[in-house]
Amino acid sequence: MIQALLELDCIPAGMELFPASDEERWSLITRVIDDCDYYIVIIGGRYGSVDEKGISYTEREYDYAVKRGIPVLAFLHSDADAIPAGKTELQQDARERLAAFRQKVEQRMCRHWRTPDDLGGVVSRSLVQAMKLQPGEGWVRGRFASDLRRSRGSAPRSMSLLLASNLPGSSRLSPPGTSPRDWKNSESATSPTLRTTWPPVI
């Protein structure tokens, strides 16, 4: 999944990758979302970590991205009942919130997946289509910035992509201590941004 996105010139960015900071968590999350060209949400069998009101950060991120008008690509597990119990919510309240979140997401365009192989292929194809239909601002290498201004877009550039998920586990996508802002201001930034709070797929 992550390899497929990297091959599409996406730069992954995840909460587990950000440096330690005194910045309030939600403020940091929204700042990263604002820097992204696309938002991907992958919904499996868990609602995810919640805030003080009991709303998962994944759902809050989704709502924020929709409100900001950022293109959202949503992918839901096609058979939630088939997910092993160890990878699903056991508390009734969390299960109900997850079901309500799924219903909310399904009111918009979304795709379904069942296996990790399915997910990688569906996300890749959907992202390629999204980049064609809704081109993002992207990132540009520092040495190409002046060329881009003169040519109005011919310099090599990248897209920004935000990925969130409520799948169980954790995934490290780049060296610790780096952040999307570090990459965006770096000469080596060449790919779309991918923000992720998601772990290995079922």
pLDDT for position 17:
57
The predicted model scores a pTM of 0.72
The DSSP code sequence of 71-92 is -EEEEEES-GGGS-GGGS--SH
The Cα–Cα gap between 30 and 77 comes to 26
Cα angle 22, 160, 166 (rounded to 5 degrees) comes to 65
pLDDT > 70: what percent of the chain?
Answer: 62
**Could you report the per-residue pLDDT of 176-202, keeping only the tens digit for each?**
334 444 434 444 343 444 444 433 333
Question: 157: closest CA among 147, 165, 166, 172?
Answer: 147
**Could you report the per-residue pLDDT of 62-75, keeping only the tens digit for each?**
999 999 999 999 99
Tell me the CB-side half-sphere exposure of residue 91, using CA atoms within 13 A.
8
The SS3 assignment for 197 reads coil
Q: Which two tokens stand for residue 118?
A: 């399915």
**Could you report the per-residue pLDDT of 118-162, keeping only the tens digit for each?**
888 899 899 999 999 998 887 776 676 666 555 554 444 455 566
The Cα–Cα gap between 41 and 52 comes to 22
The Cα–Cα gap between 162 and 127 comes to 11
Average pLDDT over residues 31-58: 90
Q: Which two tokens stand for residue 189?
A: 């930034």
CA distances from 109 to 41, 71, 75, 104, 185 (A): 12, 11, 9, 11, 33
